[in-house]
Amino acid sequence: MLFSSTKGYHVPFPLLASATLLAVSLTTSHAQGTSTTPPAAMSAELQAAKTALAKYSDPLAAVRDGYFSTLACIDFPKGATDGPIAYPPGAMGIHFLNPGNVGPALDPAKPQVLLYEQVGDKLVLTAAEWFMPVQAAGGTAPAIFGQTLAGPMDGHEPIMPPTLRHYDLHVWFWKNNPRGMFTSTNSAVKCPPGGTYTVAIGEHHH
């Protein structure tokens, strides 16, 4: 299934409305993550982005703004490598994608992906991800917040086809990442062990 952004870039994702509704049904109330990163440790630009995106502590607000749940909780229990990209042991959680934000420019207030952790019957906002397909990047690795996005890398199955090569940057605004706020995986994030929608990715990720 193809989702097209308003900028004309086609992003193939197996996202169904039913999947979105199922994931969002995990919570009907606001679920705000708790950051242990002191605000002073963040640049003014990062702090402004965190403040602007705080409304997505309610995943229903994210859906209203065009984000769709990819349903799976992505876990790297033993870490993994994908060519030059290293994923330390930890999880990413559940990705909510906004195809309308995908294009050749990155906006601090419009991440392409929001990340949630399932905690009991709630989805708790943990991070935002800036994402750009290789075809939109024009041959140069994009940057935001003074950070160059990692990549290019293959798409992460099962939430995207491996042929969707891209760059990305995770920013753990709302849940402290022991390895740093820009590290792709977070050892403090947990996916339900053996859960129906938990996807554990092995040592070599392709």
DSSP calls for 116-142:
EEEETTEEEEEEEEEEEEHHHHTTS--
CA 55/CA 40 separation, integer angstroms: 21
CA 10/CA 31 separation, integer angstroms: 31
- For residue 175, the model assigns a pLDDT of 98
Which residue ranges in the chain fall short of pLDDT 70?
Answer: 1-41, 203-206
- For residue 83, the model assigns a pLDDT of 76
**DSSP characters for 22-51?**
HHHTT-SS-------S-GGGS-HHHHHHHH
CA 137/CA 22 separation, integer angstroms: 33
- For residue 20, the model assigns a pLDDT of 39
- For residue 202, the model assigns a pLDDT of 80
For the chain, the domains span: 2-200
- For residue 82, the model assigns a pLDDT of 82
SS3 of residue 58 by DSSP: coil
Tell me if 149 sits within 8 A of 171, measured CB to CB.
no
- For residue 160, the model assigns a pLDDT of 85
Quote the tokens at residue 177: 């990442």
The 10 Å Cβ neighbour count of residue 120 is 9
Please report, for the chain, how many H helices and E strands are present, in that order. 4, 13
Tell me if 172 sits within 8 A of 127, measured CB to CB.
yes
Q: Where are the alpha helices (DSSP H) in the chain?
A: 17-24, 44-53, 59-64, 134-137
- pTM score, two decimals? 0.81
